[in-house]
Amino acid sequence: MGKRISSQMRRELLEATRWRYHKSSKTDKTRILNEFVALTGYHRKHGVRLLSQLCDAGAKAVQDGCIRSRRVYDEAVKEALTVKCGKRRIASAGND
């Protein structure tokens, strides 16, 4: 196994590769992913998840103008979830 790169270098590589990956065709994405995994040592699925994200979480995402939307459920969905999953929630609350 070769030398490992620093976490700072991984972050820089991720940022440099993410937009290229996002705009590429499927065959190019495969090639980019292969290179990314070989350089970082990440598992392939982890690399796919990292490269597929369009922005980082937290303050940096807000600064870049990328604000993630939250899921919004209407009252009917909330009621159905409460009725269906309410028993599990009550049972698990006692285990804490």
> In which region does residue 67 sit, left (phi positive, over 0), alpha (psi from -120 to 50) or beta (all else)?
beta
Percent of the chain predicted with pLDDT > 90: 31
Q: Is the torsion defined by CA of 23, 27, 30, 31 positive or negative?
A: negative
Provide long-range contacts, Cβ within 8 A and 24+ apart, for 14-20. Answer: 14/40, 14/50, 14/51, 17/51, 18/50, 18/51, 18/53, 18/54
| Residue 92 predicted with pLDDT over 70 | no
Can you tell me which residue has the tokens 């009550």?
90
Q: pTM higher than 0.75, yes or no?
A: no
Q: Is the torsion defined by CA of 89, 91, 93, 96 positive or negative?
A: negative
Kindly report, residue by residue over 57-81, the tens digit of the pLDDT: 544 544 444 555 667 778 888 787 7
Mean of per-residue pLDDT scores for the chain = 76
